[in-house]
Chains A and B, each alone.
Chain A
């Protein structure tokens, strides 16, 4: 096995994931006030609304698609009666539009970020790089889906990329799964891990700040000087 393969599908993903995890911990602990999506709504509203809405709606669906395609083994779907044909239909008719919506969203956001003087003026290098990377990644993803549709049956990512990815997570990496994967999928994966590596240092950290604690929080909150002391008696 060539070192390139070993590097791309084993070493590089682990480096990226390590940066991802350690980077987040570091950033969260050291940059509380910078942990934000840096809203630029004040500067431009109209295209932000369209771009942001489309992108976020699309990306949530896309994330769902990735979970079912990569994390959940093919055998599971088959055990619940979802056959290849059915899965394929869902992936094409569900994933395709979702990808299109996401692409439309990120395109608007990219054009806005570079095209609007006010927004561009407040953008950091990280903002500019990350939006370009996401645009490339979404395009590659959509291209992969189209490739998949066109090459009926010859390639199944659920038997290659899926196991490889789960292998990474279970610390049993096997670069060989990736050998026969088409180029466009490979590019999608490589750029994807690039984004993971950059993630902690960009605005993308806002993904982890869903205020879910409000769901079951009591209406009246008491602050305590010392948490160890019982407050209510």
Chain B
């Protein structure tokens, strides 16, 4: 090595003459270049590690992390993805600036380095422990049952005061809380919230496994985020299944609808730009001139929330031009085989009014078939009469193994479904169809052809879904009724009609609809709609989606590569789903876990139900006289009672004490215990907790949050959370609305504030939720742990590998919950050593026999005596589950015995895994400690968990994929094994996927297949291999006949306007206006410099835009309120206030304000002059609205599934006032 000159001698070069040029303007530095080594060393590394980011961005990009001397220096994109094949662009490299800045967090000031506890709580705890002679459970009780003491630490939440804690002490406090709550109120009063398993499966499973073993509910996220499109289960019986991004390249025509591709799917956007070079046309539907609009050939600038109107008009055009004027054979064949269009619907007559009713079933025709109530019929043109086709939900459960979409009737004879009765009708009648506009609701009467069927002396009027559709859409066929004359007649649902709502030019709509369908006809289904949160987060997001999805189903695009919907919101696809689902919910030890839909949970726990402003009477269909209830909470109670939805906290009593009490009353067998519980519910000596949610006995007590920023990022109704759930300072400006009270829920005039006794957050970033928590635990970052990641966007399963060990006192989520499980079990040995009998109420589940529990979509309420109360049939199922609290740790760290006997599976596919269980004993090792876990496969480390997940899943284990296809063959009678045959010998290990990304193995637990390197696209198995959709008819549904769907006029896709504006109501605290203000719609789309609340506080990202909270406003709106660019403003309504800088831009539509999701309040947020508090989060002005139709359950595809169905936490139908913040106070003194 060259000898280094000492700095001082070098400095003396100053006196030397320097070589100059350009008349002295330039010179050679009289110094060596060693100063540069400091920068060069900054990027040196001695180790490269493959990992990824778990931030629910859907990217799941594989990254290289560079490490030097045990310090992470930087990250870079991996480029070794397997090829997509010839004539295709590749996946590599994937990544975006957000991910590339992640390593900043590792050593940043925001990093949580140690366990923390709020000092007030710690003092109270130590004092209580002394007073109670070290009795942990009594000590906890003495704090939380003493209102003053509880208030002491609850009211200072969010106000700092954290002190460092010892792991042992916080584990003790958490265990004391858990045991006290379990013994006093029940394990169902504790809950866990963590979202998106796919973004780090092991970490999700850590807490959910622990809590499931306790019997504590896990809260859903997909519906709560309002990312779940309820239209998907409604139409397809599938939570969400979408194409990977490379399939965009197969499309011939793309509409980007409410999805800002380059901004929110950054690593995938290139497929959209590349396919344009192939000649694919790209259209953008967006209210603002969004980033993606510049790629579009046409821009449809739609009014926010009116997208359904646009889609309805396009449907009108397609039906008219491709189904009626010209009969496009490809479309019609598709519609007959793969949709419910030919199915028969009863027309109901009351007085002189005809309305569409429910599907006609085999049982209606008196046909003696098994499960006839669940076999809808169609009209066979060959036999000229009604016929039962294969593939309906009835065949799914009648165990004949003939559940498929062959064009055959039940006896195997060919059939040809008739689409319309026109020309064969017995009568032409006019049906009443509901119409919803901004001005109110109305009825349109339109003619349809009906056929008569005589049964038992009763005349049944029937028609087809297709005939009803044409009436609904106003496609004229010389039938009586109010049909529009042409496209320019402003009646529902013509292109001219839509312009009133959307403000998009009539001609443009006709053109795009025509092009979209013609492309589909020419390419046999390669028209695609890439859609997303922008159009989904509305109260009526489901009708918007159904209207849009019409377009891809009517044109035969769904289930075709390059076609169909491409809906992207969160990172939903957990590819190794069966293994993960087993480990995550401890299904290897006990069944069933408690899984709660979060929207209901938070709606009641944060008392948003007391602040309703929209009566359901105003939202019902005009074809019914009265809605069942006025208040949405009542529908939720009904849903809990009839077993439609889960409802935890469960009953007004501790579920652990029920069997003891039943025993005292003489019950001996478990059946007797169950019927004792049913009796208690019937005689009302015990109620559902949701019927009295503010009772101190009934509300949730403990909440664990990990991998999430619940309070700031997804807490719609942020201020309600602060007030009711946490008891902290809040900025709520509204008052409970006593005029709109539910009938079925006890109203409390002084509901408890600070319901949670303990909020625990596990995170690496001191953001909103951590700041409001009582205990904060330091989590390992994505560069410090072992885990698994997958996504919808690509077909790979990626590993997380630790580049360094977790620094400071941080630990991986798995290790954190493991150490808590250990402490808890040890303490439980002393305080709760006896085995407990827990009674778990489980809803009627989708993909289980529960989905055929309540026939005909009729609501029969046992409480009203309309039907007998039968668990698992007319009410939730009741299951006894043993809980041995001293064994939690042993069970947590080993794979339990149920895997030896029960099959594992998902989505109705199941297969035995005994062989894999034995294999895991060898690969993971066995537990050697005597006890329940002795000899079982170990899952003590995150790595062992990852191996278990990969081994037990069909997408990552070829042997299991084969077994899964065999199970599908057994159910459908189709030949399917070949699909994965080529990959039967493959089994992914953690090491394999660390070496190079591997494409998953095709499996029937998902609806598409990537056989032979085909790009993954959903429902291709249904179209190519005739596996039915998991719906009532086994086909895609245009028509949904549940009673409550009819009540709200949503049997068919409709246009419904957004909820009417409510800025303030009644006697609320409307702040006096000091200057000019404007009222705008309040939307929170996803931003450019953040992924949810992550990265927005990262120094790199803060430098790229305004460096703090900001809102976007149109320049003319700004002028009206005297706002200049970069002014500070206050944005407020009855729900709260947020302060931000205003970005004045002509890209924005008038009348709408954007505050990009998710702006937290720990960076550069000033005080609000209205509340005197720090100016809120982007969720301060929001709240959720619960939609009754999304509470339906126990009925085919509308049966409950965790993160599958249930009301979405929509927050978009909101308005705010905006005014200039005259004085900016930072509240620092």
Q: Which residues of A come within 8 Å of B, CB atoms? A: 25, 28-29, 32, 213, 217-225, 227, 230-232
Contact = CB atoms under 8 A, between A and B. Distances in A.
Contacts of A25: 8
Contact of B8 (A28, A217, A218, A223): A28
Interface in B1-56: 6-8, 11, 14, 18-22, 24-33, 36
Nearest to A222: B28
B29 A232 contact: no
A103 to B, nearest CB: 31
A219 B18 CA distance: 13
Contacts of A231: 19, 28
B12 to A, nearest CB: 11
Contacts of B14: 213
B6 A29 contact: yes
Listed from nearest, the 4 A-B pairs whose CB atoms lie closest are: A220-B26, A218-B27, A232-B21, A29-B6
Contact of B27 (A29, A32, A221): A221
Contacts of A222: 26-29
Contacts of B19: 230-232
16 contacts: A28-B8, A29-B6, A29-B7, A213-B14, A218-B18, A219-B26, A221-B28, A222-B27, A222-B29, A223-B36, A224-B29, A225-B33, A227-B32, A231-B28, A232-B20, A232-B28
A221 B7 contact: no
B7 A224 contact: no
Contacts of B31: 223
Contacts of B29: 221-224
A164 B224 CA distance: 85
Contacts of B20: 218, 232
A29 B28 contact: no
Nearest to A221: B29
Contacts of A230: 19
A95 B24 CA distance: 43
Given A25-B8, A28-B8, A230-B19, A218 B33 contact: no
Given A32-B7, A232-B19, A217 B28 contact: no
A227 B30 contact: yes
Contacts of A221: 26-29
B74 to A, nearest CB: 21
A140 to B, nearest CB: 32
Given A25-B8, A213-B14, A232-B19, A219 B25 contact: yes
Contact of B33 (A28, A213, A217, A223): A223
A220 B29 CA distance: 9
Contacts of A220: 22, 25-27
A28 B6 CA distance: 9
A230 B20 CA distance: 10
Contact of B24 (A28, A29, A218, A223): A218
A227 B19 CA distance: 10
Query: Main SS of the interface on chain B?
Result: mixed
Contacts of B28: 221-224, 227, 231-232
A204 to B, nearest CB: 17
Given A221-B29, A222-B29, 9 more contacts: A28-B11, A29-B6, A213-B14, A218-B20, A220-B22, A220-B26, A223-B36, A224-B33, A232-B26
Of B11, B22, B28, which is in contact with the most chain A CB atoms at under 10 Å from its CB? B28
A212 to B, nearest CB: 9
A220 B19 CA distance: 12
A220 B25 CA distance: 6
Of A213, A221, A225, A227, which is in contact with the most chain B CB atoms at under 10 Å from its CB? A227
Contact of B7 (A28, A213, A218): A28
A29 B8 contact: yes
A223 B24 CA distance: 15
Nearest to A218: B27
Nearest to A25: B8
Contacts of B32: 227
A21 B8 CA distance: 12
Interface in B959-1007: none
Nearest to B20: A218
A207 B7 CA distance: 17
Contacts of A217: 27
A25 B21 CA distance: 33
Nearest to A230: B19
Contacts of A32: 7
B662 to A, nearest CB: 62
A157 to B, nearest CB: 34
Contacts of A218: 18, 20, 24-27
Nearest to A231: B28
Contacts of A29: 6-8
Nearest to B9: A29
A101 B24 CA distance: 42
Interface string B359-397: 000000000000000000000000000000000000000
A28 B8 CA distance: 6
A232 B32 CA distance: 16
A227 B30 CA distance: 7
A70 B1197 CA distance: 99
A225 B2 CA distance: 13
Nearest to B8: A28
Interface in B1168-1192: none
Contacts of B27: 217-218, 220-222
Contacts of B8: 25, 28-29
A221 B27 CA distance: 5
A219 B23 CA distance: 11
B620 to A, nearest CB: 61
Contacts of A227: 28, 30, 32
B537 to A, nearest CB: 41
A231 B24 CA distance: 14
B117 to A, nearest CB: 23
Contacts of A232: 19-21, 26, 28
A225 B31 CA distance: 9
A9 B87 CA distance: 90
B669 to A, nearest CB: 69
A230 B30 CA distance: 12
A32 to B, nearest CB: 6
A207 to B, nearest CB: 15
Contacts of B33: 223-225
A223 B30 CA distance: 8
A217 B30 CA distance: 11
Of B6, B8, B31, B32, which is in contact with the most chain A CB atoms at under 10 Å from its CB? B8
A95 B18 CA distance: 41
B10 to A, nearest CB: 10
Nearest to A33: B38
B106 to A, nearest CB: 22
Contacts of A225: 33
B42 to A, nearest CB: 14
B305 to A, nearest CB: 47
A28 B7 CA distance: 7
Contacts of B21: 232
A32 B28 CA distance: 22
Contacts of B18: 218
A182 B713 CA distance: 73
A170 B7 CA distance: 29
Nearest to B24: A218
Nearest to B26: A220
A216 B27 CA distance: 11
Nearest to B27: A218
A77 B26 CA distance: 44
B22 to A, nearest CB: 7
Nearest to B30: A227
A149 to B, nearest CB: 42
Contacts of A223: 28-29, 31, 33, 36
Contacts of B22: 220
Contacts of B25: 218-220
Contacts of B6: 29
Contacts of B24: 218
B5 to A, nearest CB: 10
A232 B27 CA distance: 9
